[in-house]
Amino acid sequence: MNEARVAQVERACIALAEAGEPVTFITVAERSGVPRVTLYRNPNLRALVEEHRARARDAHTLTGLAIDVANLRLALEAVAERVRHHEELLRRLNKAVGKSK
């Protein structure tokens, strides 16, 4: 995933929270310049926005903790999927290099 895009979304969420404004997908999209559809479709960005929303809404409650765990699970699943993808690419590359020798 594009690290610059993650940083943009993170900065937008923090700025909204510090300003006391609601952290929504619409406000994050406007503040960060990242399209709203991208925020919804990218599991890592979605989890990031959801995490900030949960912090603002349910700070230090059991509900807030449950939401944090759910968001972390989503983010971890997204990372695991990327790792599986990269492992498959490495297997293919190793197989191709082995055939060319």
State the pLDDT at residue 64. 65
State the pLDDT at residue 60. 56
Count of other CB atoms within 10 angstroms of residue 68? 15
Q: Which residues contact 32 (CB under 8 A, 6 or more apart)?
A: 8, 9, 11, 12
pTM for the whole structure: 0.56
User: What are the structural domain ranges in the chain?
Assistant: 3-100
State the pLDDT at residue 55. 78
For the stretch 8-19, pLDDT in tens is 999 999 898 888
- In this structure, which amino acid lies at residue 34? V
For the stretch 44-80, pLDDT in tens is 999 999 988 887 766 556 776 777 788 889 899 999 9
Encoded tokens for 73 = 């699970």
Contact between 56 and 19 (Cβ < 8 Å): no
- In this structure, which amino acid lies at residue 54? A
- Of the chain, the percentage scoring pLDDT greater than 70 comes to 91
- Of the chain, the percentage scoring pLDDT greater than 90 comes to 56
The answer on pLDDT for 99 being more than 70 is yes
Contact between 62 and 55 (Cβ < 8 Å): no
